């Protein structure tokens, strides 16, 4: 039987760690994706994701359910992202184990997607990521919450602490700027959109 977030939160507040771990499994990917799109680096996003759940776990006794659990998590993650952007820390890069054969594993994990499609997708993804970086933090966050996390205008307004009309303005101006950036790239982007 699948329990709701509210039920799992109530159990977690009584010290049931398994219930909280179920919440982690349910929400770790959306939180990671949010952090990645805001920060742009995989390692940083992973760290922020982990910190988000640790903070949520510690702050759980103070969570009275006045907002949705997911909204509360998103808010923690966004605050951490903001701190992370300010600090601009960098994590060390790890190395490949010596006794592993990358070629064998590559053959084993060869995807169905052709390299051309992969290149097209990656190229468009890189173009979009670069265009997103040109937006202000508020515009970028509003677009990410709307496009990739399906929040309503009101939820974004609550999350960003601004009026609903401001959210609409941020979305419109952000999308318009993205549109100009992509149009500047010309016909190539339209073809990539078709291909992906």
Partner 1 sequence: MIETFECGDTGALVAYLYEEGEPEIREVIAGHLTRCAACSSEIDGLRLTRQSLQAWVPPMPELTLQMPVPTPARMPWWRAPLPAWAQAAAAVLIFGVGLSVGLVRGDVNAPPQEPSPQPVATTTIDTPSRSDLSRLEQRLRTEMAQMRTTAAPPVRQASSDDDMMKKVEALVAQSEERQRREFTLRSVEMAREFEAQRRIDMATVRDTVGQFQGVAGTEIRQQREAIDRINNFIRVSQQAR
Rounded least distance, CB 169 to partner 1, Å = 7
Nearer to partner 1, 82 or 122 (CB): 122
Bin 29: left if φ > 0, else alpha if -120 < ψ < 50, else beta. Answer: alpha
Rounded least distance, CB 156 to partner 1, Å = 11
In this structure, the dihedral spanned by the alpha carbons of residues 96, 101, 103 and 105, taken in order and rounded to 10 degrees, is -90
Tell me how far apart the alpha carbons of residues 69 and 29 are, in angstroms, rounded to a whole number: 15
Tell me how far apart the alpha carbons of residues 96 and 4 are, in angstroms, rounded to a whole number: 40
**Contact flag: residue 133 with partner 1 (CB under 8 A):** no
Stretch of 52-60, 64-72, 73-81, 84-92 contacting partner 1, by CB under 8 A: 52-60
Stretch of 3-11, 20-28, 66-74, 75-83 contacting partner 1, by CB under 8 A: 20-28
Rounded least distance, CB 105 to partner 1, Å = 5
**Contact flag: residue 147 with partner 1 (CB under 8 A):** yes
**Contact flag: residue 192 with partner 1 (CB under 8 A):** yes
Phi and psi torsions of 33, nearest 5° = -65, -40
> What is 94-111 written as a DSSP string?
P---TT--HHHHHHHT--
Q: Give the H or E element holding residue 141.
A: helix 137-147
Tell me how far apart the alpha carbons of residues 132 and 76 are, in angstroms, rounded to a whole number: 22
Note the residues at the interface with partner 1 (CB under 8 A): 15, 17, 20-21, 24, 28-29, 32-33, 36-37, 42, 45-46, 49-50, 53-54, 57, 94, 96-97, 100, 102, 105-106, 109, 115, 118-119, 121-129, 132, 143, 146-148, 152-153, 165, 168-169, 171-172, 175-176, 178-179, 182, 189-190, 192-193, 196
């Amino acid at each position: 039987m699948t329990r709701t977030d509210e039920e799992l939160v109530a159990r977690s507040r009584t010290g049931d760690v398994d219930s909280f771990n179920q919440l982690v499994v349910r929400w770790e990917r959306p939180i990671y994706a949010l952090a990645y799109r805001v920060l742009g680096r995989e390692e940083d996003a992973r760290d922020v994701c982990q910190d988000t759940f640790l903070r949520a776990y510690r702050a759980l006794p103070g969570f009275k359910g006045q907002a949705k659990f997911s909204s509360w998590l998103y808010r923690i993650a966004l605050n951490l992202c903001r701190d992370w952007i300010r600090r601009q820390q960098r994590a060390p890069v790890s190395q490949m184990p010596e006794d592993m054969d990358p070629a064998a594993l590559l053959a084993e994990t060869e995807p169905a997607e052709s390299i051309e499609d992969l290149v097209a997708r990656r190229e468009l993804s890189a173009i979009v990521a670069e265009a997103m970086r040109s937006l202000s933090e508020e515009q970028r966050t509003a677009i990410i919450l709307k496009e990739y996390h399906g929040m309503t205008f009101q939820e974004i307004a609550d999350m960003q602490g601004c009026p609903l009309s401001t959210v609409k303005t941020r979305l419109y101006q952000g999308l318009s700027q993205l549109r100009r950036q992509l149009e500047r790239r010309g016909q190539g982007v339209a073809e990539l959109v078709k291909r992906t």
